[in-house]
A = this chain, B = another copy of it.
Amino acid sequence: MNAPATIGTTEKVADAIRSGIRTGQFVPGQHLVEAELTLRLGISRSSLREALRHLSGDGIVAIHRYRGAHINRLTRREVRDLLEVLEQLVRLAARLGAASGHANRSLMDAALDAARRHDEDGDHRSYIAVRQAFYDCLFEVAGNRELPRVTPLRRADLFRAQIRPYQTRAQQDSHTEGYRAIAQTVNDGDVEAAEAAVAALFAQTNAMVDELPDVAFDVE
């Protein structure tokens, strides 16, 4: 009864754009012309505009009156602010997950498996899958249903898309390893270690942001 009986056009379109950002089909800063998108996606303008309005609420697209919608492109400062908030929420999730002893071991195991698989093939697509699976599991284990709603993961996808050209394979692996460390400590039920693992991951990410060139970000 809680399952969405059928999926609506608006959601499909929003998902298409969101996943398009992750796959590189849409690039941050890109202008989204309504007429073109309605043709490409085979939908009406009404549905498209509803979807864009939905995405603008998540901070994924920005809508300027009479200038239309474009995929957001974050400034360095926006990224820093985003990471600062994200860290708190992920830390809370890790804390809750570690504290709930009866946690779904199997879920985190799945994330660990995904991480291992990533180590093997090392594709960018699999990196995305690992990230997605990791956070899904973490929120599931945390058991707080508000958390996935407010956590700006989709907005963080923008950041991921922006830095992709400048991210080395080593950095990616290191990041995945960070996920693994968090999953491990959460699984062990070690609250303090879990929080420390989250802090370490974000410290690393923040350091990377500091080293990235200006061109990776939008101008102030």
Contacts and interface: CB of A to CB of B under 8 A. Distances in A.
Interface of A: 4-6, 8, 10, 46, 49-51, 53-54, 56-59, 65, 77-78, 81-82, 84-85, 88-89, 91-92, 96, 144-147, 149-152, 155
A150 B59 CA distance: 9
A6 B85 CA distance: 30
Task: Please list the 9 inter-chain residue pairs (A to B) with the smallest Cβ-Cβ separation, ordered nearest first.
Answer: A57-B57, A81-B146, A50-B53, A85-B146, A81-B144, A82-B146, A53-B54, A53-B53, A88-B88
Contacts of A58: 57
Number of copies: 2
A85 B144 contact: yes
A50 B54 CA distance: 8
A49 B53 CA distance: 10
A78 B146 contact: yes
Given A53-B54, A149-B152, 12 more contacts: A5-B65, A50-B50, A59-B149, A77-B145, A78-B146, A81-B145, A81-B147, A84-B96, A84-B144, A84-B146, A85-B92, A85-B146
A53 B85 contact: no
Contacts of A96: 84
Nearest to A49: B50
Contact of A54 (B4, B56, B152, B155): B56
27 contacts: A4-B65, A5-B65, A10-B53, A46-B46, A53-B53, A54-B54, A54-B56, A54-B57, A57-B57, A57-B58, A77-B145, A81-B144, A81-B145, A81-B147, A84-B144, A84-B146, A85-B92, A85-B144, A85-B146, A85-B150, A88-B88, A88-B92, A89-B89, A89-B150, A149-B152, A150-B150, A150-B152
A157 to B, nearest CB: 14
A2 B112 CA distance: 44
Nearest to A58: B57
